[in-house]
Amino acid sequence: MQDSDQRPELYLETVLMLIGSARKRSSVLCYILGFEILKLLFSMSWSQHERLSSLQVNEEQFIRAFIQPVQHMHKQQGIVVPRGEKEFFARRDYFIRQPDIAPQRLVELVIASFNADRIIEIGFMLLRHPNTIHFDYDYIYAPSSV
């Protein structure tokens, strides 16, 4: 799926292959679900990442697996520029500012940050156990005060 831009001739072949294989259809569903979750993470502020992480059963594992790669890409691409992050009294508006990322750019960032197997794994976890990622919209998206 990720190679469809580079090798469009394989797109139809891939679609036909999916029609005949339930296992592959399941993988595609998991991929789509995982991809959408990662797009959501890329669109969140770091403050919202922190709140989402605090809801998870295994907070440290969640941070390492999902939040750190997203925040690393935010930094690398200049989407979030953490000024004074090592200074105690530094202004932290970067922490609460929600990134404004164009839809196509969002797709590119997810593909650059996570391989297909990892994206499928995230989707599979959610399909298998709906409570794998705990999500409380009101808590996560509550207005922050700096």
Give a yes or no: residue 2 inside a domain.
no
Q: Is residue 34 part of a domain?
A: yes
In a domain, 21, yes or no: yes
Residue 4 lies in a domain: no
This prediction has a pTM of 0.78
Residue 1 lies in a domain: no
How would residue 12 be classed by pLDDT, with cut points 50, 70 and 90? Answer: low
Q: Is the pLDDT of residue 17 over 80?
A: no
- The larger pLDDT score, comparing residue 13 to residue 131, is at 131
Task: Specify the pLDDT at position 5.
Answer: 60
Tell me what pLDDT residue 69 has. 96
pLDDT of 129 reads 84
At 19 the pLDDT is 64
Task: Let me know if residue 65 belongs to a domain.
Answer: yes
Asked if the structure places residue 68 within a domain, the reply is: yes
Number of domains in the chain: 1
Q: Which domain holds residue 80?
A: 9-140
Q: Is residue 116 part of a domain?
A: yes
User: What's the Cα-to-Cα distance from 35 to each of 60, 69, 108, 131, rounded to whole Å?
Assistant: 21, 14, 11, 17
